[in-house]
A and B are shown apart, each in its own frame.
Chain A
Amino acid sequence: MSKKIVAIVALFLIQAGVAAAQDSKPAPSSELMENKNPVITNEQLPSGAKLFVAPMSNGFETYVIAGLEKKKVQVVVMTDREKADYEVSGVSDTDRAGWAKMLFFGSQQTNETASVKIVNLKTGNVVFAYSVNKTNSARGKQSAGEAVAKHINEKIENRYH
């Protein structure tokens, strides 16, 4: 009789242990799944949208904001991510002219490359993505920043394909 009780208690303890182990594993929430597998949608980027431009390498975010200002893009740039509806993030790289380029081509201009994406902070969906490559960029990062802004403007005006 006592052996049966011990066996039942042991089974109960094993089951409780298994349940606790399952509980400790993080449940895949829908938000996490969205972040791991971002969805690229055809969602419209509305005029007057509040954008937060996240810091990028070499301060490229300031050139993007300056580009948005110059191209008169109909968005409101926020300094606080909490107040924004969308987030612009990306990477940028600069390739400086080497001696061979100067000697053979007489050019000291840089090659610029940048890639950005705009994420809807509520849904986690990518609403816009764009990459730019400027060989012999006339005005360095400024040119790349303005190209990004121009295409964001096209997206807002629904002219982007």
Chain B
Amino acid sequence: MRSRGLYAILLTLFLLAVCSIYAQEAAQKVIPSGAKVFIAPMDGGFNEFLKAAIEKKKVPVVIVEDKAAADFEITGHSETQKASTAKKVIMWDWHSNEQASIQVNNLKSGEVVWAYSANKQSSAHGKKSTAEACAKHLKEKIESAK
């Protein structure tokens, strides 16, 4: 009888330990609302478009200019393919093709907690469109953790 009780206590402790490990791992992947984010410089000044998009889409993060004061860092790559003369003449299309990819790094754990890439053919508003797509999905990620 006593051994059964001891066994139950040990099993409970083991399950609690496993649950806490999983909870810690899940917590590391979360971007909390109000997190301090540093946006690293990117090609073609995409970081500036991203800041504007985060503002426009009301993403619940605080953008800081000092990396040391941040909890997360956003890095990424952006590429613009301007409409060539052939595209303008043959396809009557003046819009550029845009692609961008960003990743959010947890500066404490060194893990990438979220990443997203966007591709816009004949982008209506150039880099602004891809930046807003990134910001929209970042907002979804933050709100899904609530």
Q: Are A66 and B105 in contact (CB under 8 A)?
A: no
Q: Are A59 and B114 in contact (CB under 8 A)?
A: no
Residue A67 at the B interface, CB < 8 A? Answer: yes
Q: Are B115 and A66 in contact (CB under 8 A)?
A: yes
Of B77, B84, B101, the most chain A CB neighbours within 10 A belong to B101
Decide: A65 near B77, CB < 8 A? Known: A79-B110, A108-B87, A141-B99.
Answer: no
Interface of A is mostly: helix
Binary interface profile of B, 80-96, with partner A (CB < 8 Å = 1, else 0)? 01001111001101000
Q: How far is the CA of A14 from the CA of B33 in the complex (A)?
A: 74
Q: Are B101 and A59 in contact (CB under 8 A)?
A: yes
- For A67, the closest partner residue in chain B by CB is B117
Report the contact-size class of chain B (Cβ under 8 Å from the partner): 20 to 34
For B90, the chain A residues whose CB sits under 8 A away are 99, 102-103
Count of interface residues, chain A, beta-carbon cutoff 8 Å? 31
The listed residue (A59, A99, A139) touching B43 by CB distance below 8 A is: A59
Decide: A76 near B111, CB < 8 A? Known: A62-B76, A62-B101, A103-B86.
Answer: yes
For A143, the chain B residues whose CB sits under 8 A away are 119
For A102, the chain B residues whose CB sits under 8 A away are 86-87, 90-91
Task: Give me 9 other A-B pairs in contact (C-beta within 8 A), A59-B77, A141-B99 excluded.
Answer: A63-B101, A67-B117, A102-B86, A108-B87, A109-B121, A140-B119, A142-B99, A142-B117, A145-B101
A residues touching B (Cβ–Cβ < 8 Å)?
58-59, 62-63, 65-70, 76-80, 83, 96, 98-99, 102-103, 106, 108-110, 139-143, 145
29 A-B contact pairs sorted by A residue (CB < 8 Å): A58-B79, A59-B43, A62-B75, A62-B76, A62-B101, A62-B115, A65-B101, A65-B112, A66-B101, A68-B115, A69-B114, A69-B115, A69-B116, A70-B116, A77-B111, A77-B112, A78-B110, A79-B105, A99-B84, A99-B90, A106-B91, A108-B87, A139-B99, A140-B99, A141-B79, A141-B99, A141-B117, A142-B117, A145-B101
